[in-house]
Each structure stands twice: as C-alpha cells, then as structure tokens.
Amino acid sequence: MTELRKDPIVGRWVIISTERGRRPQDFPREKAVRQEGFCPLCPGSERMTPPEIMVYPNPHPGGDGGWTLRVVPNKFPALRIEGDLGKAGEGIYDKMNGIGAHEVVIETERHDLDIFDLPEERVADVLRAYRERTVDLMNDERFKSVLIFKNQGAAAGASLAHSHSQVIALPIVPKRVMEELTGCQDYMRFRDRCLFCDIIVQEMEQKDRIVEESGEFLAYCPYAPRFPFETWIVPKRHQCSYEMIEEDQIRSLGAIFRRTLRKLNMALENPPFNYIVHSAPFRSGTTDFYHWHIEIMPKLTKVAGFEWGSGFYINPTPPEESARFLRELPG
Amino acid sequence: MTELRKDPIVGRWVIISTERGRRPQDFPREKAVRQEGFCPLCPGSERMTPPEIMVYPNPHPGGDGGWTLRVVPNKFPALRIEGDLGKAGEGIYDKMNGIGAHEVVIETERHDLDIFDLPEERVADVLRAYRERTVDLMNDERFKSVLIFKNQGAAAGASLAHSHSQVIALPIVPKRVMEELTGCQDYMRFRDRCLFCDIIVQEMEQKDRIVEESGEFLAYCPYAPRFPFETWIVPKRHQCSYEMIEEDQIRSLGAIFRRTLRKLNMALENPPFNYIVHSAPFRSGTTDFYHWHIEIMPKLTKVAGFEWGSGFYINPTPPEESARFLRELPG
C-alpha cells in the first residue's frame, strides 16, 4: 500500500505509494475543492466517513444528538494503523512499512464557516482535540512523532471545502523536526538557554515583528521568514511539546490564534494557507531545549519548485512590514 | 535593498527584501506568464535587458549579427553585485547584505521553442553557458556557491514565457546543499566511498528506476522522491562540481538531458517543472565525497504548504512506476 523510504543523501523519509499500474494522466493537475453539493463532512453524512474516534456533542438547546467537532480516520489514509514496521534495507537504501495514523479533525458542523469564523471557545475546542488526539496516539509505542496541520484552500492542498485539519502519527521523526531539534540543542549547548525563550525576549524588546501579544502567547513574524506574512505563535512559558498545554493556555491560545488567522484573512483577502503545529517527538527527552509553536504560512506566491529543491527562499516582504500591517488591523 | 537573514532554529539563510511601504495587495496571487505580445528576451529587444555578460553568436548563414544564446544580469535582481558583505548580528540573529549575482540565461533566440525543442547541440550550448558562468563567478572571493535552475511554466514560478534559466551566485551555502554535503561526508566516513557512485552501481544493477543511460550519464528516478516523476541525471564518472564537466561530457549530457526532458514533457503533457544543478560549493575541498547532479521536478500536485513547512513528503507515485513509464516512451 504505502512504504516509508529514506533518501540516503539528506536523510529525509518520504511516504511512497507502492500502488502500481497507474498512468501519469491519473494524477490530477489541480485538485478541485468541492464547494457545492454533497459534503462528506457535513451533519447527516456521518456514515460517509469511517467510524468516529472522538466527538464533541452540541451543547446548545436543540442540538441534541448533534456535534460540533468530530475526529475520524482519513478515508484515504497515507498510512495504515495495523501491522508492524518491517524495517528493512534494499541495498544501500532504507525502508519500512507505511504504518501510522492519519486522522481528520472536522472543526465545525457548519459547512459555511472557516476556523477563524468560529467563536473563541470553538477554536479552543479544535486545539483541545489536537491535544487529546496527541495524548492518545503517543501511547502507541510504534509512533515517534505527530504532525498536526491544516491546508486551507485548494492552492494550499485542501481537497474538501468543509473546515478541517489533519493529524498524522509517524514511526519516524520528519527531517524538518529533527533539524529544529538539532538547532535548539546546539543553542542550548552554546548558551545554556532555550533558543525560543531567547527569541521571545528579543521580539518583545524589539516589538517591530510582533502581531499580537497576550498573557500566555506571542504571535510574531519570524526574523527570517520563508514566505510573505508568515506568522508564528509561541507560548511564553517554556514547554517542549504541544500535549503539555494546560487548560488555561488552550483558552488563551484559542483567542490569539483566532485573532491572528482573522487578521491574515483580512489582510490577504481570503488567502490559501497552511498551519503546522511544531512539537517535540514522543519520548525524546527534549524537555529543556525545545519549545513547541505553530507556524502559519499564507500561500501567496507560486515560486514553489525552486525553493523546494534548493532549500533557498527569496521573500519579497520584510517581516517587520508584514507585522506592522497585521498589528494595525482590528482582528 | 535586500538582506540575507539566517533562521536561528534550522540555520537556513533567506533573502529578504527590505523595501518598505508596500501593501499586501501589491503581491500578485498568481504570476501571469506573458505569452503574447512584447517579449523582452526576444531578438530586437536586446536594449530592454541590462548589457549582456555573454553571447553565443548565430553561426548559421544569414544569422550575421544575431545570437542563439545570451546571458544578461536579471533586471530585477534578488541580490546586487556591488558592495561588501557587511556581516552583522542583530541580537541573537545573524544577517549580511544581499550581495550576489543574479543572471538570466536566454537559452534560445526563438520565442516559440522550449529547451527540449532545441537540437542537441543547442542544449549543449546552454550547459556550456552554465559552466562558463560558474567558472567566472567563482573567481569572486565573496561568493561561496552558485545555484543554476530553471522555472518552466507559471505554476513553477516562471514570469516570462521565453525559454530561460537563472544563475544565482551566493555569499553563503544554501541549507539544502549543506545537508547533501553532510550526508555524503557521513557516508564517506562510514564506507570510504562516494554515496552517489554507490547509488549509480545499485541503480544500474536494479535497473527498475532507470529512465535513460548513456556512456557518461544516468537518468533515473530516485529511490525516495518527493514528487511524482522526479528524475535526476548524474555523471557516471566521479566529479564533485559542475564546472569540472569536460567538453565530451557536455555533448553527452546535452543528449540525455534533452531526451529526459522530452519524455517528461510527453508523459505529463507539457507540465510546469523546475530543474536545479546541485554542485559542491566553491573552494570547499569536497573533491572526494560529493558528486554533482541535476534534479528535475515536474510540478503536478499543489500540496505545497504542508510539505514546505514540515519537510515531510507524501508521493502518490512509486519511482519504479515513473521510470518504467518514461523508459518506454520514444523520447
């Protein structure tokens, strides 16, 4: 079905479908977002998804039997949950079975709302669901890390219009996560402090890259962003992994996350975007040097392939300018 | 104008425009490829580009005064050639001036032809121009590496339809290049052999990922590709940097490169694509462990942001299947 294969040059694991016999024409050029007509994520279509893993019932009067959030297995998973890892070599190459979890978080029962249209407490529900799923998945000893992310809009990779995000549990640590860990660990060795904690101090002093600030969180445009209007949200208190988030922080994050997404949506006029929760791998003992955060990347430009291939980014917008613009919006 | 800034977490340098005062609306959502009307790269428009750095005159009868290939400075360069690096810190962050070269290789005088429509000797001219520009740029002690790449089609980042590629000389080594060097150096330490030389041996034995083979070069789909139909071309003889390529190899590469691009174009029906020449940094002393190559990435899917942000790729096409399909095409 699928296989995890490791690039021997840069050490990057990728998921490869091993399904044979398809022709190049079978790959759609542009994924269409199904905006109209039947939606498999809407209330009434519950049987169109695999049985749900988690549900938040609708607490409102008249909402009996309904829900406001569901988590279901992805109907077309990139990885499957059953089986063993089957780690093996193939000459100089390394591979393992495509074992993992691939879940869909249906963020609202409303087909017509985006995540940032929801009230704060519902955005907090989405963040709560991320934590609950992470805590559950980390019990599986085969999994080393979890990726929580959202693709919003066809150009950002979404194939369904109904507001949703995805949770992928992996038997490996993705390369980008490893790089962050290494960078933060090097900094800790050099200065005996958490790099993100130092970034927070400097950003709060410099102020010119801050988008929003609350008691618990900072939303800012990073110093060396890859993309125009790239914005990160980071907890002010030191925490290495997302599942350590506490209930008061979830409520606080719901508010600042919603405001930040609303501002981006307003500034960029409904842009496609992705966000990704960056968190320490499971059971990695990285408590002191890593610091979880969320990276939000609006997808404004199309200059993809070169940056992909080279790891080299040209960003036409200084983050100080993005931040100033976002800061001045009402949210 | 522009600044090079280093992300302190993963150590990635990015080019940031420091121009202020633009609004979000000033960034086009979709770059349009100007197909019709005036073209600044066509014969007759030579004055529309900055003065040329290099030109191959038209050798054909009646081609007097004409050209078949020009290299000109980019009119809107991401980096500027004059000045010193001005390396400096900004608190915990690192930056330097946006010094570098940004050149455009106009691959043909013909507006209506793509690179793979040219005869073999003209494709070889393009490859020769890449070598000549690299050799010239490496004389500048400020530069550490060069990126040679092509964006074909608007979806791959091209802003002009006339067939061209780009050469960027950088005062830093891009992250992706550093990663490859580290991977190859680790392999050399472990096995005392060049990783790419070993890959070539295994691919020629396994055969199922080979697209084209000639005396000097191998075109194959890599074992762990990020994208459907990703194809790499590698010299069979050990060479660490592109500028070491010899005249007989250039002719041989012209033939296999053209055939491979033609096959991809045929299989995928005129896809947008990028290719990037991967070569050792200047004066890096990596003669033994690194091996230059060209990576060709058709851009078939739009699931960009997540992969960008996470470094984690899901590829729906096994490379054995891509290679089989391409191998069987006439080219």
Q: Which amino acid is at B62?
A: G
Residue in B with minimal Cα distance to A176: B311
The pLDDT score that the predictor gives to residue A300 is 81
Band of residue A156 on the pLDDT scale cut at 50, 70, 90: confident
Nearest Cα neighbor of A229 from A271, A180, A277 is A271
Q: Are B104 and B54 in contact (CB under 8 A)?
A: no
Q: What angle do CA A281, A160, A28 make, to 5 degrees?
A: 95
Residue in B147, B205, B321 nearest the CB of A312: B147
Band of residue A31 on the pLDDT scale cut at 50, 70, 90: very low
Nearest Cα neighbor of A122 from A87, A150, A163 is A163
Is residue A47 within 8 angstroms of chain B, CB to CB? no
- Distance, CA of B1 to CA of B86 (rounded, Å): 13
Is residue B297 within 8 angstroms of chain A, CB to CB? yes
Provide the residue count of chain A: 331
> In chain B, which stretches have pLDDT less than 50?
28-32, 34
> Which residues 72-131 in chain A show a CB within 8 A of chain B?
78, 90-93
Q: Are A205 and A246 in contact (CB under 8 A)?
A: no
Distance from CA of A298 to the nearest CA of B (A): 8
Token pair in block for residue A174: 């993705």
The pLDDT score that the predictor gives to residue A323 is 96
ipTM of this model?
0.89
Residue in B20, B93, B155 nearest the CB of A318: B20
If you search the block for the tokens 């990276």, which residue do you land on? A295
Nearest Cα neighbor of A17 from B224, B207, B208, B219 is B224
- Distance, CA of B10 to CA of A195 (rounded, Å): 11
Is residue B199 within 8 angstroms of chain A, CB to CB? yes
Residues in contact with A167: Cβ distance below 8 Å, sequence separation at least 6, in sequence order: A71, A101, A102, A103, A104, A105, A130, A133, A134, A137, A146, A147, A148
Distance from CA of B174 to the nearest CA of A (A): 6
The pLDDT score that the predictor gives to residue A21 is 55
Whole-angstrom CA distances from B182 to A25, B136, B206, B208 are 37, 26, 26, 28
Q: Which residues pair with B71 in a beta bridge?
A: B54, B105
The pLDDT score that the predictor gives to residue A302 is 63
Q: What angle do CA A101, B226, B324 make, to 5 degrees?
A: 110
The pLDDT score that the predictor gives to residue B35 is 54
CA torsion angle for A45, A47, A51, A53 (degrees, to 10)?
Answer: 10
What pLDDT, in 10s, does the model give residues A117-149?
999 999 999 999 999 999 999 999 999 999 999
- The DSSP symbol for A116 reads G
Strands A164-170 and A145-152: antiparallel
Q: Contact B313/A225, CB-based, under 8 Å?
A: no
Q: What angle do CA A269, B303, A118 make, to 5 degrees?
A: 45
Distance from CA of B260 to the nearest CA of A (A): 15
Q: Is the dihedral of CA B105, B107, B111, B117 positive or negative?
A: negative
- Distance, CA of B79 to CA of B90 (rounded, Å): 21
Q: Contact B14/A300, CB-based, under 8 Å?
A: no
What pLDDT, in 10s, does the model give residues A5-17?
999 888 888 888 7
If you search the block for the tokens 């962003």, which residue do you land on? A225
Distance from CA of B38 to the nearest CA of A (A): 23
The pLDDT score that the predictor gives to residue B155 is 79
Active-site residues of B, by number, are 164
Is residue B225 within 8 angstroms of chain A, CB to CB? yes
Nearest Cα neighbor of A229 from A265, A259, A264 is A264
- Distance, CA of B169 to CA of B29 (rounded, Å): 28
For chain A, give the mean pLDDT. Answer: 90
Q: Contact A272/B305, CB-based, under 8 Å?
A: yes
To test the contact with chain A by mutation, choose from B5, B6, B15, B16 the residue with the greatest count of A C-beta atoms within 10 A, namely: B16
Whole-angstrom CA distances from B131 to B52, B176, B216 are 17, 21, 17
The pLDDT score that the predictor gives to residue A29 is 47
| CB-CB neighbors (< 8 A) of A223 in chain B | 5, 7-8, 90, 93
With pLDDT > 70 as the criterion, what percentage of chain A qualifies? Answer: 92
pTM of the model: 0.92
Among A164, A278, A291, A293, the active-site one is A164
The pLDDT score that the predictor gives to residue A24 is 64
> For residue B56, what is the enclosing H or E element?
strand B54-57
Q: Which residue has the higher pLDDT, A209 or A29?
A: A209
Token pair in block for residue A53: 């893993």
Domain annotation for chain B: domains and CATH numbers? 2-327 (3.30.428.10)
Is the pLDDT at A166 greater than 50? The verdict is yes
Q: Which residues of A284-316 are buried (b: 16+ CB within 10 A; e: fewer)?
A: eebeebbbbbbbbbbbbbbbbbbbbbbbbbbbb
Q: 3-state class of A151 per DSSP?
A: strand
Q: Contact B8/A195, CB-based, under 8 Å?
A: yes
How many A×B Cβ pairs under 8 Å?
289
Q: Contact B224/A319, CB-based, under 8 Å?
A: no
Is the pLDDT at A153 greater than 60? The verdict is yes
| CB-CB neighbors (< 8 A) of B25 in chain A | 269
To test the contact with chain B by mutation, choose from A25, A146, A302 the residue with the greatest count of B C-beta atoms within 10 A, namely: A302
